Amino acid sequence: MSGPVDVSLDRRAFLTRMAALGAAAAGGGMLAASPAAAAPRLPSNGWRDDLLRRLSRPEAYAPSVRQEALDDPTECTIAEAAELIRRGQLSPTTLLEAYLDRIARFDSTYQAFNTVLADAARAAAAAASARRPTCALDGIALAVKDNYFTAGVRTTANSFIFEDFVPPTDATTVARLTSAGAIVIGKTQMGPLATTRATTPLGVVTTVNAWTPGNRATNPGGSSTGSATATAGRLATTSIGTQTGGSITAPSNAQNLTGLKPTMGRASLNGIIPLSYTRDHPGPLARDAKDAALVLTAMAGPDPADFRTLDLPPLPDLLVAATPLSGRRPGVRWPTRVGVIPDFTAGTSPTALARRALLDTLSAIPGITLVDVPLPAEWSLLTGAAFNNVRLPERTEPFLEFLRQDLKLFGVSLTGWVQGLFLSGDEFLRGQRAKQVLLERVLFDLFSTCDVVVQTSPVPFDIVGLPEIAFPIGFDPAGVPIGTILGGLPYAEDRLLAVAAAYQAVTDWHLRRPPDPVVAAARSAALEDAAGGTPLVLTAEEVAELSE
Amino acid sequence: MPPTPPTDEELNTLIRARLALVGIDLGTLPVSDPAAPVDQTRLLSSVRGFLRGTPPVVSAWAIAPDPRLAQQVAPPELYPSITATRTAGAPR
């Protein structure tokens, strides 16, 4: 007779968390940085060796480096910079100094950064320059959205609540990236508490779109605004952000970047200030599909501190996925049916025209087939405003103590946090049942005849935690980028990367960079709104409407 | 016969009571100040709009035509993508 099936849980992680929270309580809420507390508890089963192996594959490096990148290292993609570093033609110090120079010259206009970590970054770059590179990310300058914990470095979420908060540990995803040699160059501006485009907590617009630095009215996308502007404006090689209702895909589309929002659980949320527990997703805003694959490869993986990441399909080789087939059999890596939803190309707007061109280009890629797909039943209802609002109690709950202290702490973002108090428990539960119904219809109806599907909004797949990739597909007559979003099946980031990479192999939108801002003229213009004369400010009503 | 929809004042009473019950002081905001990011007047208006627009829609959604059978369908799921993947190979 066999014995009882007793489940053995991991006690060490529990004890570590309780000790950290107890220390915070004893210290009056201030978490002092200490070396012992600096590192999150990452798996101890050789994950770093595996990570470095993945990031050292031939596919991690550019097969050739563009002349623009040879002439100016800030033009490099990660893969190009890694190749030059590997060849000994570029040092991490030279690369970093080039970015710091651009930050000194242009960030007063771009306003991409909250905090620039010049000294620490220089020290890290010097160390990286003195050693043989460990992998493709070693020595690469990384901009980090200011809702990711960074040990010993102010992490504000662009809010009054966190304005003096210095976390004692790195977020797990930051620790993974820096363990692969990425150098954090700074913390980026964001929508306050991850709501809208970047503004001050009182709603004054700050970060501009790198493509129109003289016009603050051009939406740079949010809430990962500074991350997008830093990458697009060549103030860093790449950046990371978070998405709850479009905050990676929207700024990526607005600024000609490739943004990848992975499936829920693919990357740890440990050490990231929450907006919605069930909808927050960390991910890269990068220059192309290969760079997005490199960054997500580093970020992704099981984390004992975040159960959402455990017991999931192993991470596939995203670098191979992001390498299109070439030579005798060019095309997408795996035969892929791209679903086209109704009205995707409707109208005569520049976006509609760009979408038509996108579909024409995709259909000409060997291995890609376009398929018209209907939207599932009750799509507008289950992805509309009311069911989207079911997320609001998730932002209220972790911030109750601050709501009790002083409502003014939330600045112009307050209304969403208060609205979350007014959904009853039964309504919240019905919303969670609706998510299950929506996912079933997406998986079994929407994906019954396609492998990926074009999207006109990131919200539906954010609600159910499915992956999305955003990539550039053109420009409007004013020179503002136009992008699209593709959604995929659970944990199918490889499929999404493969399609984006195949598209980028036959187009060059992603290679274009905005001109440098004309600093004096841009600065004075940036201070004026469309009417001229006063700063651009979002009202509380606008924030509530636009909020993630 | 459906109940009479609540008035603005009735909703304001609900809002004030709910905030007070959980220890939130509406008085930390100015009553009415257009220069402030948010004031009590605008916050109450926003929450009234939420109350009229969201709970009724969510609450009214029918998972299945017969509520006795609807009870058996779609248990609440915080992370549907994760659960669907973890259970994809589960024996039936």
pLDDT digits (tens, 9 = 90+) for A197-223: 999 999 999 999 999 999 999 999 999
Residue for token digits 């563009």? A66
Which residues 6+ apart lie within 8 Å of A150 measured at CB? A144, A167, A170, A171, A174, A184, A187
Comparing CB atoms, the residue among B24, B75, B85 nearest residue A490 is B85
Q: Is A247 a catalytic residue?
A: yes
Q: Are A423 and A390 in contact (CB under 8 A)?
A: yes
Q: What is the mean pLDDT of residues A471-495?
A: 97
**Closest by CA position to A290, among listed A342, A237, A241:** A237
pLDDT at A231: 98
pLDDT at A544: 84
> Taking the C-alpha atoms of A285, A289, A295 and A296 in order, what is their torsion angle to the nearest 10 degrees?
100
pLDDT at A297: 98
Q: How many residues does chain A have?
A: 548
* pLDDT tops 50 at residue A530: no
Strand partners, A484: A471
Comparing CB atoms, the residue among B24, B55, B79 nearest residue A423 is B55
pLDDT at A10: 64
CA-CA distance, A300 to A303, in Å (whole number)?
9
For the ranges A46-50, A76-80, A86-90, A466-470, the lowest mean pLDDT is seen at: A46-50
pLDDT at B2: 87
CA-CA distance, A201 to A158, in Å (whole number)?
6
3-state SS class at A332: coil
3-state secondary structure A222-287: CCCHHHHHHHHCCCCCEEEEEECCCCCHHHHHHCCCEEEECCCCCECCCCECCCCCCCCEEEEEEC
Q: What is the mean pLDDT of residues A55-77?
A: 97
Tokens for A347, please give them. 């109208």
Cross-chain Cβ contact B22/A433 below 8 Å:
no
CA-CA distance, A193 to A223, in Å (whole number)?
9
Q: Are A412 and B38 in contact (CB under 8 A)?
A: yes
User: CB distance from A278 to chain B under 8 Å?
Assistant: yes
pLDDT at B88: 81
Chain A and chain B share a number of CB contacts under 8 A equal to 152
* pLDDT tops 90 at residue A42: no
CA-CA distance, A221 to A467, in Å (whole number)?
19
pLDDT at A322: 97
Cross-chain Cβ contact A433/B75 below 8 Å:
yes
Q: Is A252 a catalytic residue?
A: no
Q: Are A454 and A460 in contact (CB under 8 A)?
A: no
CA-CA distance, A354 to A99, in Å (whole number)?
32
Comparing CB atoms, the residue among B28, B37, B82 nearest residue A264 is B82
ω into A159 cis (within 30 of 0)? no
**Closest by CA position to A430, among listed B50, B65, B59, B53:** B59
Cross-chain Cβ contact B53/A443 below 8 Å:
no
Tokens for A209, please give them. 């779109």
Helix pair angle (A172-179, A289-299), 10° resolution: 110
DSSP tag of A75: G
Neighbours of A201 (CB within 10 A): 22
DSSP tag of A437: H
Comparing CB atoms, the residue among A422, A437, A439 nearest residue B84 is A439
Q: What is the mean pLDDT of residues A490-499?
A: 97
Q: What is the mean pLDDT of residues A129-158?
A: 97
* pLDDT tops 80 at residue A521: no
* pLDDT tops 80 at residue A522: no
CA-CA distance, A350 to A363, in Å (whole number)?
20
* pLDDT tops 80 at residue A44: no
User: CB distance from A537 to chain B under 8 Å?
Assistant: no
pLDDT at A40: 54
Neighbours of B87 (CB within 10 A): 9
CA-CA distance, A432 to A424, in Å (whole number)?
13
Best B47, B82, B86 member to test A by mutation, with max A CBs in 10 Å, is B82
Residue for token digits 């966190």? A162
pLDDT at A26: 53
* pLDDT tops 80 at residue A524: no
3-state SS class at A55: coil
Strand partners, A364: none
* pLDDT tops 50 at residue A531: no
Q: Are A189 and A143 in contact (CB under 8 A)?
A: no
Handedness of CA B38, B39, B40, B42 (dihedral sign): negative
Tokens for B28, please give them. 């930390």
User: CB distance from A461 to chain B under 8 Å?
Assistant: no
CA-CA distance, A118 to A128, in Å (whole number)?
15
* pLDDT tops 90 at residue A61: yes
Q: What is the ipTM of this complex?
A: 0.95
Q: Are A514 and A233 in contact (CB under 8 A)?
A: yes
pLDDT at A99: 98
Distance from CA of B54 to the nearest CA of A (A): 5
Q: Are A501 and A291 in contact (CB under 8 A)?
A: no
Which residues 6+ apart lie within 8 Å of A266 measured at CB? A281, A296, A300, A309, A312, A315, A467, A491, A493
Q: What is the mean pLDDT of residues A314-339?
A: 92
- How far is CA A244 from each of CA A248, A282, A395, A461, rounded to the nearest angstrom? 9, 9, 11, 10
Instruction: Scan residues 382-441 of A and list those with Cβ closer than 8 Å to B.
Output: 385-387, 389-390, 400, 403-404, 406-408, 410-412, 414-415, 418-419, 421-424, 426-427, 429-440
User: CB distance from B79 to chain A under 8 Å?
Assistant: yes
Q: Are A309 and A267 in contact (CB under 8 A)?
A: yes
Q: What radius of gyration do chain B's Cα atoms show?
A: 20
As separate numbers, helices (DSSP H) first and strands (DSSP E) second, chain A gives 23, 11
* pLDDT tops 70 at residue A74: yes
Cross-chain Cβ contact B54/A278 below 8 Å:
no
- Annotated catalytic residue: which of A91, A145, A159, A268? A145
Give me the amino acid identity at B52.
Answer: R
Cross-chain Cβ contact B57/A381 below 8 Å:
yes
For the ranges A51-60, A158-167, A276-285, A320-329, the lowest mean pLDDT is seen at: A320-329
Distance from CA of B72 to the nearest CA of A (A): 11
Q: Is A408 a catalytic residue?
A: no
Cross-chain Cβ contact B74/A541 below 8 Å:
no
What does pTM read for this prediction? 0.94
DSSP tag of A12: H
**Closest by CA position to A143, among listed A106, A108, A190:** A190
Q: Are A182 and A298 in contact (CB under 8 A)?
A: yes
Q: How many residues does chain B have?
A: 92
Comparing CB atoms, the residue among A387, A423, A439 nearest residue B80 is A439
Q: Are A56 and A174 in contact (CB under 8 A)?
A: no
- Chain B positions touching A438 (Cβ under 8 A) are 80
